[in-house]
Amino acid sequence: ANKASSTVVVDLLKNATVEPATGTSPNDGALNITSSMTINGNTYTITADTTTFTVPAAGERGDFHVFNITGGKVAINNLTINGSAKAAHGVNVWTANNAADKADVTLTNVTIENNTGYGVVTLGSDMTVENITTTGNAWGGINVDNSASSATGGTFTMNSGTLNEDNALYIQNTKAYDGQDATINGGTFMGTVSVEDNATGEGDVDGATLIVNNGTFSNSVADYGRGDLKEALSGAGAGS
């Protein structure tokens, strides 16, 4: 690792298997990041250890994330993250509601696979993804949300990549009054892109905004936009 200014730079030199430290609490990670850092994967793979990553019961989400990011400006590049069907989420980003600054995460040329939850979850934080691939994640590709204990609001931008799960991108807003902004500038979505319903089930949850500028969509195309955009995309079952 090289330290320049306030950002640590880590270069992966080989494939690595990671395990949560003894005493790690559920919802924490094997790799916990709290401050600015750049991780250059150099096309290697980080794999969740199949023994120490525990799952409470068959079919349930695992206890620990591979990466758990709670602060700083973090970039992860050229890396595969394999949850071994044991990790909860491959990358979990969470900003506490009393934090001075939001976690700001950029994923570039990253593949996230085989997690028992989502490939990526971002809660009350800012995230940009470029050439991301998610596959084999049980709950879906990417989840954007606020939680009861996370910071207010957050942004998500997808510029390119492929989300292979049936539930490709799911936008929620548990703290409906605070808002979430999601923008799709490109990418391929093999499953649904959707915004959580509001309490009446007659529209999107309050405060969540999805803007679709471009992309290729395989199904549920009418749900990718709202208003005129929804109507324009609803014909062929695919759009770009």
**What does the pLDDT read at residue 240?**
43
Q: How confident is the model at residue 96 (pLDDT cuts 50, 70, 90)?
A: confident
**What does the pLDDT read at residue 145?**
87
User: 193 pLDDT exceeds 80?
Assistant: yes
User: 238 pLDDT exceeds 70?
Assistant: no
User: 237 pLDDT exceeds 50?
Assistant: no
User: 231 pLDDT exceeds 80?
Assistant: no
% residues pLDDT > 90 (the chain):
62
**What does the pLDDT read at residue 100?**
80
What lies within 8 Å, CB to CB, of 157 at 6+ separation is: 127, 128, 129, 182, 183, 185
The Cα–Cα gap between 144 and 148 comes to 14
**What does the pLDDT read at residue 215?**
87
**What does the pLDDT read at residue 235?**
46
% residues pLDDT > 70 (the chain):
79
**What does the pLDDT read at residue 236?**
40
Which residue would you say has higher pLDDT here, 100 or 193? 193
Which residue would you say has higher pLDDT here, 6 or 83? 83
Interval 124-168: pLDDT, tens: 899 999 999 999 999 999 999 876 667 667 899 999 999 999 999
Amino acid at position 126, single letter: D
User: 58 pLDDT exceeds 90?
Assistant: no
User: 225 pLDDT exceeds 70?
Assistant: no
Interval 73-84: pLDDT, tens: 999 999 999 999
The Cα–Cα gap between 82 and 161 comes to 17
Q: How confident is the model at residue 20 (pLDDT cuts 50, 70, 90)?
A: very high
Report the chain's mean pLDDT, rounded to a whole number: 86
User: 93 pLDDT exceeds 70?
Assistant: yes
User: 1 pLDDT exceeds 60?
Assistant: no
User: 11 pLDDT exceeds 50?
Assistant: yes
The Cα–Cα gap between 34 and 146 comes to 19
Which residue would you say has higher pLDDT here, 195 or 29? 29
